[in-house]
Structure 1
Amino acid sequence: MTIRRIVANIDVASVAEVQKFYTDLFGLEVIMDHGWIVTLASVQIAAVQISIATEGGSGTPVPDLSLEVDDVDAAFSRAKMLGHDIVYDLTDEPWGVRRFYLRDPSGKLLNILSHPG
């Protein structure tokens, strides 16, 4: 058996508010919209991964979602410009990622990261 896709589902009170957050900050595009559910996607092909953790590393809580971006510094600047509350500052971690945490409008903890190099 081959897994073709894993989709993260976020339970929200307002689909439009959370959709705007992900499209404004990450440039994701709407690929399906039934009103009660909207699916956003990137044109990039991503590997299927599931992380299982007891902590988020460096003493942080386990994030609900991890989003790898090509330029974490640009994502950090954009998040601050859009007024999003950063809950873990931009940090170079000892295991080789540069990342920060913020919460989406539904309260989900997001780990935004890049692998420098």
Structure 2
Amino acid sequence: MTVRRIVANIDAESVNAVRKFYVDLFGLKAVMDHGWIVTLASGQTASVQLSIATEGGSGTPVPDFSIEVEDVDAAYARAKALGHDIIYDLTNEPWGVRRFYVRDPAGKLLNILSHPN
């Protein structure tokens, strides 16, 4: 059997508030909208991955989602400018990623990261 994709579903009181967060911060676009559910996408193709962890690394909690971006510094600056709740400040980690944590309006903890060149 081949897994073709894994879709994250976020339980939210306000679909529009959470949609706005992901559109404004990451530039995602709606590819399906039924009002009660909206699916956002980047248009990029990514491999299927599922991480299982006892901690988030460096003493942090396990994030609900990890989102790899091209430029984590730009994403961090945008998150700060938008007034989002930064939980773990921008950090170069010993295992080779640069990342920060932010919470979305539904309370999900996001690990935003890049692999430095």
User: Considering the TM-score relative to the shorter chain, is it more than 0.5?
Assistant: yes
Which whole-Å CA distance do the structure 2 matches of 1:27 and 1:46 have between them?
A: 16
Which whole-Å CA distance do the structure 1 matches of 2:61 and 2:86 have between them?
A: 14
3-state SS of the aligned residue for 1:39?
strand
Question: What is the one-letter code of the residue matched to 1:48?
Answer: V
Query: What is the TM-score with the length of structure 2 in the denominator?
Result: 0.99
Which whole-Å CA distance do the structure 2 matches of 1:44 and 1:106 have between them?
A: 24
4+ aligned runs moved over 6 Å, structure 1? none
Residues 1:62 and 2:62 aligned together: yes
| Identity, % of aligned positions | 79
Query: What is the TM-score with the length of structure 1 in the denominator?
Result: 0.99
Which whole-Å CA distance do the structure 2 matches of 1:115 and 1:46 have between them?
A: 15
- Structure 2 regions of 5+ residues with no counterpart? none
3-state SS of the aligned residue for 1:96?
coil
- Report the CA distance between 1:43 and its aligned residue: 1.1
Residues 1:49 and 2:55 aligned together: no
Alignment size in residue pairs: 117
Residues 1:7 and 2:3 aligned together: no
3-state SS of the aligned residue for 2:10?
coil
Which whole-Å CA distance do the structure 2 matches of 1:4 and 1:29 have between them?
A: 20
3-state SS of the aligned residue for 1:91?
strand
- Report the CA distance between 1:8 and its aligned residue: 0.3
Residues 1:78 and 2:68 aligned together: no
Which whole-Å CA distance do the structure 2 matches of 1:64 and 1:50 have between them?
A: 11
Partner of 1:95: 95
Partner of 1:36: 36
Q: Deviations over 1:67-93 (max 9, x none)?
A: 000000000000000001111000000
3-state SS of the aligned residue for 2:99?
strand
3-state SS of the aligned residue for 1:17?
helix
